[in-house]
Amino acid sequence: MKPRQQLIDEGILNESKITSRHSIAIFYQKQLKKFADIGMGNQTEHGITVTPDLIKITRDRLKQLRPFIRTPEKGDE
C-alpha cells in the first residue's frame, strides 16, 4: 500500500476528505454506467461478471457517499 503523501502527490487522494470522497463517488457512478453498458451476465475488462448483487452493492455504496456529491437519487447511472 502506498503512503498517504504519495497518493496525494499522484492526485489519487486530496488533502480534503470531502474532495476524496467526491472522487470515490464519481468512480462508483462511472462503474454503474459501465455495468449498464456491459449488460447483466457479461464481464468487465477485469473478468468480473455483472450481477444484480454487484449492482446493488455499488448503488448502496454510492448512496452512502451521496452527502458528498450532487447526484440524482433516481437512476444512479
Transcribe 25-73 into DSSP letters.
HHHHHHHHHHHHHH-TT-B-TTSPBP-HHHHHHHHHHHHHHGGGS---S
User: What pLDDT score does 56 carry?
Assistant: 97
The whole-model pTM stands at 0.65
User: Does residue 70 surpass a pLDDT of 70?
Assistant: no
In the chain, what percentage of residues exceed pLDDT 90? Answer: 42
User: What pLDDT score does 11 carry?
Assistant: 67
Please give the average per-residue pLDDT across 1-5, as a whole number. Answer: 68
- Write out the three cell numbers for 76: 444512479
> Can you tell me the distance from the alpha carbon of 50 to that of 26, in angstroms, rounded to the nearest whole number?
19
User: What pLDDT score does 77 carry?
Assistant: 45
User: Does residue 74 surpass a pLDDT of 60?
Assistant: no
